[in-house]
Amino acid sequence: MESGGNSLPSGSDGVKRKVSYFYDPEVGNYYYGQGHPMKPHRIRMTHALLAHYGLLQHMQVLKPAPAKDRDLCKFHADDYVDFLRGITPEAQQDQLRQLKRFNVGEDCPVFDGLYSFCQTYAGGSVGGAVKLNHGVCDIAINWAGGLHHAKKCEASGFCYVNDIVLAILELLKVHERVLYVDIDIHHGDGVEEAFYATDRVMTVSFHKFGDYFPGTGDIRDIGYGKGKYYSLNVPLDDGIDDESYMSLFKPIMGKVMEVFRPGAVVLQCGADSLSGDRLGCFNLSIKGHAECVKYMRSFNVPLLMLGGGGYTIRNVARCWCYETGVALGMELEDKMPQHEYYEYFGPDYTLHVAPSNMENKNFRDLLDDIRSKLLDNLSKLQHAPSVPFQERPPDTELHQRDEDQDDKDERWGPDSDTELDDYSNPVPGRVKREYIEVDRNDSGNYHKHSDRGRDLDMPFKENASSKVSVVVPMAVDEPSIKEEQDISKEVSDQRLR
Ligand SMILES: [Zn+2]
């Protein structure tokens, strides 16, 4: 048995996983407003369930370092970030033009603490990516993240900043290829758009398509330029059940893993695809939803698990609690433990709920057709001449950097997040700050760089297709490794359980 206590055997494959879980005790206090379906309180309910099921002691529990302006600006436009930082409910009337320009107001309202909310949920996702990059854990979880609709300079679908894009950019510093999988009922449009023209990020979205928000995600949208065949869209109809969903998910994701061979996987676990969701129209059980997690976990590739949609909040908490158990390789009892939100889960007080008897409009032949189309696209990717499936460039050199050199990413070091509990293990020993310089002139894919400027990190390209604000990652940036610090500081927040 390994001494690292946050590592547990998985249920089926017996392989241990170390899990880092990001949670800010403040996150449940943010409030979109009366009647708004998005309720950050669901994250606190999830956390309470995790605590009372006894899962917290099996993970490293971390309070994320809030993302700073410059971190958000690695994807978002400066003026949009400035706007989010400055806007208050009181100042709204004076900024009507700006509100309209950035699509803030209705679906995406201005509320108290909006900017700190964005910093918190983005901080958790980027922090998770950093932990994975440093090999501190095998799986990182941030249920507050997964806000997949946010665009470079526009809020959309209850999302303000796109923590997923930011986390993927962080993973790209270390990993040649990153896979994004989205099982929210809505199309993962913000993430797809950001990486539409690159072959270093493959995006796969399973979603309701046809007269449904956000309207994108047609099966014929496959990527652009170098990114052709690196976007996959799985359009589904009302009432899809576990069996139908799996008849697509497993063969498609199995093939994606085989041909794309990602160094890291980001899984957006939007829970609005569950049966009985307030905004959704699918009929998945929690076990069916979690089967996607189990399957992606089985490939033993560093995995970042994020939240997303989910509007019947008792079921969201159930789902993400169960999926945290899946990450840890622990099967949870159906009977719920007593806890502060117990009354939400009546009359049965169980973890699982039966799906409904609604009609499944996803007929067999339609599903077969979708599967064969997508597998066909994947086979083109497999045989494409320019597919860069080489491992990392051979001329990669490791350099030590001066410890006192200014590091703009300092707070994203492996210890930048605060450990919330003292029962987790200390992180592994001293790590020297290193950086990787890449020079590969033959393909133009990578550029040697001595500067850590934003332009090198984040070259944007206005795309000739209808897609905009596309990120074309060009440089393998250095990991922000630095001196270890003591992180056993305990947070004395009363609400932490
Ligand atoms: Zn959604």
Domain ranges within the chain, ordered by starting residue: 7-383
How far is 379 from 209, CA to CA, in rounded Å? 24
Half-sphere exposure of 356 (CA within 13 A, CB side): 15
The answer to whether the beta carbons of residues 282 and 240 sit under 8 Å apart is yes
The answer to whether the beta carbons of residues 273 and 284 sit under 8 Å apart is yes
Q: What is the DSSP letter of 350?
A: B
Q: Which residues are annotated as a binding site for substrate?
A: 107, 157, 311
Distance from the alpha carbon of residue 382 to the mean position of ligand 1, in angstroms: 31
Q: Residue for token digits 């359009």?
A: 235
How far is 142 from 266, CA to CA, in rounded Å? 11
How far is 480 from 315, CA to CA, in rounded Å? 37
Residue 419: the pLDDT is 75
Q: Which helix (H) or strand (E) holds 189?
A: helix 189-194
How far is 92 from 421, CA to CA, in rounded Å? 39
Residue 259: the pLDDT is 97
Residue count (the chain): 497
In degrees, rounded to 5, the angle at the alpha carbon of residue 121 between the alpha carbons of residues 117 and 123 is 110
Helix axes 313-328, 286-297, angle to 10 degrees: 30
What radius of gyration do the chain's Cα atoms show? 21
How far is 223 from 199, CA to CA, in rounded Å? 9
How far is 166 from 182, CA to CA, in rounded Å? 16
Give the mean pLDDT per block of 10 residues along the chain (497 residues): 35 71 98 98 98 98 98 98 98 96 97 98 98 98 98 98 98 98 98 98 98 98 97 98 98 97 98 98 98 98 98 98 98 98 98 97 98 97 58 36 35 66 32 23 28 29 42 44 28 26
Give the other-Cβ count within 10 Å of 68's Cβ: 15
Residue burial 303-337, b: 16+ Cβ < 10 Å; e: rest: bbbbbbbbbbbbbbbbbbbbbbbbbbbbebeeebe
Residue 418: the pLDDT is 76
Q: What is the DSSP letter of 66?
A: P
Helix axes 313-328, 41-52, angle to 10 degrees: 50
**Identity of the amino acid at 469:** S
Q: Which residues are annotated as a binding site for a divalent metal cation?
A: 184, 186, 272
For residue 306, what are the β-bridge partners? Answer: 142, 268
Residue 422: the pLDDT is 36
Distance from the alpha carbon of residue 495 to the mean position of ligand 1, in angstroms: 28
Distance from the alpha carbon of residue 270 to the mean position of ligand 1, in angstroms: 6
Phi, psi at 10, each rounded to 5°: -80, 165
**Identity of the amino acid at 38:** M
Cα→Cα distances 143→3, 132, 316, 483, 493, Å: 27, 16, 10, 28, 19
Q: Which two tokens stand for residue 312?
A: 């019947």
- Which residues lie below 8 Å from residue 32, measured CB to CB, with a gap of 6+? 38, 39, 40, 109, 111, 158
Q: Which two tokens stand for residue 164?
A: 């997923």
Q: Which helix (H) or strand (E) holds 318?
A: helix 313-328
**Identity of the amino acid at 168:** I
Cα→Cα distances 111→18, 164, 213, 287, 345, Å: 36, 22, 23, 35, 28
Cα→Cα distances 316→46, 288, 321, 415, Å: 8, 14, 8, 30
Residue 79: the pLDDT is 98
DSSP secondary structure, 123-139, as one string: HHHHHHHHHHHTTS-SE
Which CATH class, in words, describes the domain spanning 7-383?
alpha beta
Q: Is the peptide bond before 347 cis (omega within 30 degrees of 0)?
A: yes
Phi, psi at 228, each rounded to 5°: -60, 130
Render pLDDT for 4-26 as a digit per residue (tens, 0 to 9). 333 334 444 556 699 999 999 99
Residue 384: the pLDDT is 60
**Identity of the amino acid at 72:** L
Question: Exactly one of 149, 175, 187, 449 is catalytic; which is it?
Answer: 149
The answer to whether the beta carbons of residues 341 and 48 sit under 8 Å apart is yes
390 Ramachandran zone, left/alpha/beta (phi>0; psi -120 to 50): beta
Residue 210: the pLDDT is 98
Give the other-Cβ count within 10 Å of 134's Cβ: 18
Distance from the alpha carbon of residue 309 to the mean position of ligand 1, in angstroms: 4
The answer to whether the beta carbons of residues 480 and 174 sit under 8 Å apart is no
Cα→Cα distances 204→17, 118, 159, 179, 199, Å: 24, 24, 19, 8, 13
Distance from the alpha carbon of residue 425 to the mean position of ligand 1, in angstroms: 35
Catalytic residue status for 76: no
How far is 158 from 150, CA to CA, in rounded Å? 8
Distance from the alpha carbon of residue 233 to the mean position of ligand 1, in angstroms: 15
